[in-house]
Amino acid sequence: RRRQRRTMAAAAEKSFFRRPLPSTCVAFSSAEGRALFSAALAKDSAEPYFALAEQFTTQAEPAYCGLATLVMCMNAMAIDPGRLWKGVWRWFSEDMLSCCKDLELVKREGISLQEFARLARCNGANCKVVPGETCTLEAFRAQVVWSTSPKSKNGSDFCCSYLVVNYNRSVLKQTGTGHFSPIAAYDAQSDLVLIMDVARFKYPPHWVQLEALHRAIAAPRGFAVLTPGQVKGEGGPALGCSECLLEGFDTQGRSCGCPCHD
């Protein structure tokens, strides 16, 4: 028993319990973070927050940030996965997203932005990918504004949309490098965006400067915009790699060459 305690103590010395947020970030639960959220709500720029909060997911593996973010967004869009999760229930979970890349490989190296997009398309979502190096600060800000505002007010054809950023943590003075998480709100006065960080064991949800986040999504990263997918000619969601029917994609969820789907 003493040996077991010593082993556990040694393991604890080599482990971490969360990380303090750097000064570049504002904790969502802090007084300042709450004031920012109240301001965003008052300006109708926190539309994605509530559906994302209902489905807030902590990544199950250190390299599962992309899968956890996708699961969170797919469930927020209320897309039926068309296959069982557990018992009699159909629900997205990370271990169900193995159609495009073996999960053991994902555990070791994570997924790229293009692999994220392919998984999204294969499981019933439209996914527009924008490489960071092609997007100006003004264009990124416009996308954030569109994604965080009510779709009924901006003339959108979609009931909902979710902006996912693939960014370099080190640019935000955080530990680590590549990461995925969704954006939930925007405060125009301070130019801060709310990141719902799926690595909740490391950092809580937090606000960051939009300009800094724009630098963090530079090559080889970027962002993706998710909306509910449509089956060709039917209007329902497209489900599963084996029968992926999204316009412009083959049965494996790969782009058929149309530039708008790259």
What does the alpha-carbon distance between residue 202 and residue 82 come to, in Å, rounded to a whole number? 33
What does the alpha-carbon distance between residue 102 and residue 84 come to, in Å, rounded to a whole number? 19
Which candidate in 25, 160, 197, 244 is catalytic?
A: 197
Q: Where are the beta strands (DSSP E) in the chain?
A: 25-27, 125-131, 162-168, 178-187, 192-195, 206-209, 222-228
Q: Cβ atoms within 10 A of the Cβ of 69, count?
A: 30
The residue to which tokens 């999960």 are assigned: 103
Which candidate in 25, 122, 179, 241 is catalytic?
A: 179
Decide if 179 is catalytic: yes
What does the alpha-carbon distance between residue 9 and residue 24 come to, in Å, rounded to a whole number? 33
Decide if 65 is catalytic: yes
Q: What is the DSSP letter of 151?
A: T
Which candidate in 25, 65, 122, 127 is catalytic?
A: 65
Decide if 214 is catalytic: no
Active centre residues (catalytic) = 65, 179, 197
